[in-house]
Amino acid sequence: MKGVINKGIQEFVEARFGHDVWDRITERAHCTEPFFVTSEDYPDAMTLALVSAASEVSQLPADVVLEEFGKYWVPNSGRETYPTFFQLAGPTPREFLKSLNRVHAQVTRNLPGAKPPRFEFEELPGGALRMHYHSERGLCPVLRGLILGVGIHFNQELRVDETVCVRRGDPHCTMEITFP
């Protein structure tokens, strides 16, 4: 995974639990990186070990750690790391979400080896949005958190219902998003 993810996990943990907890997590995960370079590749196993250690140390299920990281990342790490893309992504949560393919293409354009997710969208009756998530990593709890983080970024509470999930054997994940 790209270092921007690991760096974001570190920022989330330090903001929520403190620097000492991050040190305990890296020790438990056997992670000796002194810092993460946002554009560098790191083994997926390292990221998953950090999440697993964060789960153990925080006593939160790993999926909750992933979702909370996603919620934190958008209005904090993401906005700070990619301010231009946040300005271009759209002025509403719906437009921002629908620009994710374009944003991922731009962000990963000069990053060899990047494997960004792919999204498809359907407008639903009543103003809801159906998002199909295609990724070989299957980090649907992160996506759920990112969607909620987009709502936080726009100061609007979004609701997310995952109706299809690779973790249940489906070929991809589907999130239905309402904009109350």
Confidence bin at 88 (pLDDT 50/70/90): confident
CA-to-CA dists, residue 149 to 16, 23, 123, 126, 155, angstroms = 15, 26, 20, 22, 9
Confidence bin at 84 (pLDDT 50/70/90): confident
**What residue spans define the domains of the chain?**
3-60, 81-178
Q: Examine the pLDDT at 111 and tell me if it is beyond 70.
A: no
What is the per-residue pLDDT across 166-178, written as a single tens digit (0 to 9) for each? 999 999 999 999 9
Q: Examine the pLDDT at 117 and tell me if it is beyond 90.
A: no
Summary mean pLDDT of the chain: 92
Only one residue has tokens 């992504």, namely 89
Relative to beta strand 159-164, strand 129-134 is unpaired
pLDDT reported for residue 53 = 98
Mean per-residue pLDDT for 94-102?
A: 92
Label residue 67 exposed, middle or buried (CB < 10 Å: 0-12, 13-18, 19+): buried
Q: Examine the pLDDT at 108 and tell me if it is beyond 90.
A: no
pLDDT reported for residue 105 = 77
Q: Examine the pLDDT at 107 and tell me if it is beyond 70.
A: no
Mean per-residue pLDDT for 101-116?
A: 74
Tell me yes or no: is domain 81-178 CATH 3.40.50.300: no
